[in-house]
């Protein structure tokens, strides 16, 4: 292009309103920034296909190369006929932005920043920041749960049900600061079960509404406990579960003043509850639909408290690329 033409464009741009300039800036940036850097793609590939190269759609392994699209190899599965690339079924699938932004975004997440703060920091829109958050967290939720051994403290904590952001309210809207409509534990309270061993491996899950049942404890803890003594409060659901699974149980009846029996207490799990509640407060009433995502997020942050933020960010992004998860905007928005 001739130089005077470029100068003319620059002249025109300088006279545009700030919002239009901003729009052009983002467009140009998107156009000029490098695609995923090769090394990062190699790292992701190694994580994703650690158990062999397989089709993200049907998990079978008869795969052919299928040309290139935007500098990335595409593959075609001979069995199901579908095509894919290294990012298919990962948070980075279909992204317009380069890996630098994603890393920067993961760093915001490692600091527990709000959507608005992160959007500003990374230079993406608020809706994009929202989708990125939940794409990463939904993927992390699909990683295998930790194994808990030795003394495992388990206890529930409750969150007031919230349909924040939902277009299909099934009850009258409640405004922040409102109290739960019923006293004590009711079906308006979402029950989160946290189990934590003394090596600080943790499982935290939304198990239902109201008081926890033995069946719900099973949903959260089946296959997770190995060579352990379960330490809980005196709720009968734990006793039923432990009897059923033949797991040794130390039940502490705090109402009768038994908060501790030798090395058995619920101090670790209860302090985890308080840290979780304190951390989640600035998000102003997390929607119940997304609560499982916040639980996985906090678990990451809590377990890497002393790590440099860059390391945490890298891990967040890398680990979110291990499982094959198809998250679509549509699914994230559905009630």
Q: To the nearest whole angstrom, how small is the minimum distance from the Cβ of residue 168 to Zn ion?
A: 35
Residue 83 C-beta: closest distance to Zn ion, Å: 9
Residue 79 or 215: the one with the smaller Cβ distance to Zn ion is 79
Q: Which of these ranges, 72-80, 98-106, 193-201, 256-264, lies near Zn ion under the rule CB under 5 A?
A: 72-80
d(CA 293, CA 109): 12
Q: Is 77 in the site for Zn ion (CB under 5 A)?
A: yes
16 binds Zn ion (CB under 5 A): no
| Rounded Cα distance, 35 and 299, in Å | 31
Cβ-count burial 252-285 (b if 16+ within 10 Å, e if not): beeeeeeeeeeebbbebbbebbeebeeebeeeeb
Least distance CB 88 / Zn ion (angstroms): 11
Q: Write each residue from 175 to 204 as x if it is in contact with Zn ion (CB under 5 A), else as -, in one continuous string.
A: ------------------------------
Should residue 55 be labelled a site residue for Zn ion when binding is judged by CB under 5 A? yes
Q: Which is nearer to Zn ion, 55 or 242 (CB)?
A: 55
Stretch that binds Zn ion, among 78-86, 217-225, 229-237, 299-307 (CB under 5 A): 78-86
Distance CA 57, CA 290 (A): 25
Q: CA 41, 44, 45, 51: dihedral to nearest 10 degrees? A: 170
Question: Is residue 324 near Zn ion by the rule CB under 5 A?
Answer: no
Radius of gyration of the chain (CA): 24
User: Minimum Å distance from CB 320 to Zn ion?
Assistant: 22
- H-run or E-run covering 9: helix 3-15
Q: How far is the CB of 245 from Zn ion (least distance, A)?
A: 37
Nearer to Zn ion by Cβ, of 13 and 80: the residue is: 80
Q: Which is nearer to Zn ion, 41 or 77 (CB)?
A: 77
The nearest distance, CB 81 to Zn ion, in angstroms, is: 7
Q: Any bridge partners for residue 137, and if so which?
A: none
Among 6, 16, 58, 169, binds Zn ion (CB under 5 A): 58
The smaller minimum CB distance to Zn ion, of residues 76 and 188, is found at 76
- 5, exposed or middle or buried, with CB in 10 Å at 0-12, 13-18, 19+? exposed
Sequence-distant (≥ 6) Cβ neighbours of residue 27 within 8 angstroms: none
**62 vs 187 by CB, closer to Zn ion:** 62
Given a contact cutoff of 8 angstroms between Cβ atoms, the answer to whether 268 and 238 are in contact is no
Select from 19-27, 50-58, 279-287, 312-320 the region that touches Zn ion (CB under 5 A).
50-58
The nearer residue to Zn ion, 49 or 307, going by C-beta atoms, is 49
Pairs from 78-86 (Cβ < 8 Å, separation ≥ 24): 79/55, 80/55, 82/55, 82/57, 82/58, 84/55, 84/56, 84/57, 86/41, 86/44, 86/45, 86/48
Span interacting with Zn ion, options 6-14, 80-88, 160-168, 270-278, rule CB under 5 A: 80-88
Can you tell me which of 45, 57, 259, 265 binds Zn ion, judged by CB under 5 A? 57
| 203 contacts 146 by C-beta, under 8 angstroms | yes
What's the full length of the chain, in residues?
335
Residues that bind Zn ion (CB under 5 A): 55, 57-58, 77, 79-80
């Amino acid at each position: 292009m001739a130089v005077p033409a470029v100068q003319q464009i620059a002249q025109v741009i300088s006279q545009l309103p700030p919002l239009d300039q901003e729009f052009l800036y983002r467009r140009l940036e998107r156009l000029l920034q490098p695609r995923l850097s090769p090394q990062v793609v190699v790292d992701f590939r190694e994580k994703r296909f650690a158990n062999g190269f397989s089709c993200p759609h049907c998990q079978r392994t008869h795969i052919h190369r299928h040309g290139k699209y935007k500098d990335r190899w595409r593959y075609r599965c001979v069995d199901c006929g579908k095509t894919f690339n290294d990012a298919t079924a990962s948070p980075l699938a279909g992204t317009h932005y380069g890996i630098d932004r994603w890393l920067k975004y993961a760093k915001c997440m490692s600091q527990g920043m709000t959507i608005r703060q992160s959007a500003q920091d990374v230079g993406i829109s608020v809706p994009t920041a929202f989708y990125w958050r939940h794409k990463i967290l939904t993927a992390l939720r699909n990683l295998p749960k930790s194994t808990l051994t030795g003394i495992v403290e388990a206890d529930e904590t409750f969150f007031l049900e919230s349909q924040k952001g939902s277009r299909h309210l099934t009850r009258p809207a409640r405004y922040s600061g409102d109290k739960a409509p019923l006293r004590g534990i009711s079906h308006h309270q979402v029950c989160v079960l946290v189990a934590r061993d003394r090596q600080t491996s943790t499982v935290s899950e939304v198990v239902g509404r109201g008081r926890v049942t033995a069946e719900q404890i099973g949903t959260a803890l089946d296959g997770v406990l190995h060579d352990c003594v379960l330490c809980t409060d005196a709720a009968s659901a734990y006793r039923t579960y432990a009897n059923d699974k033949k797991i040794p149980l130390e039940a502490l009846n705090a109402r009768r003043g038994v908060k501790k029996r030798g090395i058995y207490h619920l101090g670790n799990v209860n302090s985890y509850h308080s840290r979780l509640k304190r951390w989640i407060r600035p998000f102003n009433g997390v929607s119940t639909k997304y609560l499982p995502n916040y639980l996985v997020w906090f678990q990451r942050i809590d377990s890497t408290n002393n790590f440099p933020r860059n390391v945490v960010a890298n891990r967040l992004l890398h680990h979110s690329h291990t499982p094959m998860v198809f998250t679509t905007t549509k699914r994230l928005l559905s009630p």
